[in-house]
């Protein structure tokens, strides 16, 4: 994932200290119920689409923007699936980040899935019963986005 310019500016004065960043995940379904996945350039693994919100950007806008930037698919965000503080990560350069992830269920409304930037090696639609190997993060979000119901969050005190 390319580091947004606004984070580079923060890092210039904050150094490697832990930053809490607003992240979004988009679980995109097409009219046939297939889910859109990208094979990440950084890990080589398949995953759902996600990214970091820009200053002033609404989370649903971020989801729609990231899906288009990475896959050339146009979508609309239909509902919040979950809100979750992820575990802190330390990158190879020493930067520490913790993402507050807001996952959206999205519906594809146009475009043709293709690699649309340098963050993905491949982009494809998959039937829910024919998913490639995925990390628990992506599997959980796909499962929750496939269900109806209120947004999920970890109760206080857990």
Query: Residue 125 and residue 152: Cα distance in Å, rounded?
Result: 25
pLDDT of residue 71 exceeding 90: yes
Q: pTM of the entire structure?
A: 0.93
DSSP string, 31-70: TTS-EEEEEETTT--EE-EEEEPPTT--HHHHHHHHHHHH
Is 13 part of any domain? Answer: no
Is 87 part of any domain? Answer: yes
pLDDT category at 45 given cuts 50, 70, 90 is very high
pLDDT of 112: 97
**pLDDT, tens digit, for every residue of 99-112?**
999 999 999 999 99
Q: 95 lies in which domain range?
A: 19-145
122: domain CATH number? Answer: 3.90.79.10
pLDDT category at 93 given cuts 50, 70, 90 is very high
Is 38 part of any domain? Answer: yes
In the chain, the number of structural domains is 1
Is 156 part of any domain? Answer: no
Is 158 part of any domain? Answer: no
pLDDT of residue 62 exceeding 90: yes
pLDDT of 154: 86
Is 151 part of any domain? Answer: no
Is 5 part of any domain? Answer: no
pLDDT category at 155 given cuts 50, 70, 90 is confident
Is 12 part of any domain? Answer: no
């Amino acid at each position: 994932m390319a580091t947004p310019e606004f984070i580079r500016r923060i890092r210039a004065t904050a150094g490697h200290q832990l930053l809490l960043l607003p992240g979004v995940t988009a679980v995109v379904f097409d009219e046939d119920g297939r889910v859109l996945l990208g094979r990440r350039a950084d890990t080589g693994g398949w995953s759902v689409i996600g990214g970091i919100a820009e200053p002033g950007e609404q989370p649903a806008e971020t989801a729609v923007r990231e899906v288009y930037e990475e896959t050339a698919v146009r979508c609309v965000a239909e509902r919040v699936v979950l809100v979750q503080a992820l575990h802190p990560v330390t990158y190879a350069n020493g930067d520490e980040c913790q993402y507050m992830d807001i996952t959206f269920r999205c519906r594809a409304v146009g475009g043709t899935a293709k690699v649309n930037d340098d963050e993905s090696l491949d982009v494809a639609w998959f039937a829910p019963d024919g998913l490639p190997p995925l990390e628990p993060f992506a599997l959980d979000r796909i499962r929750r986005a496939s269900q109806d119901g209120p947004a999920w969050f970890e109760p206080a005190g857990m």
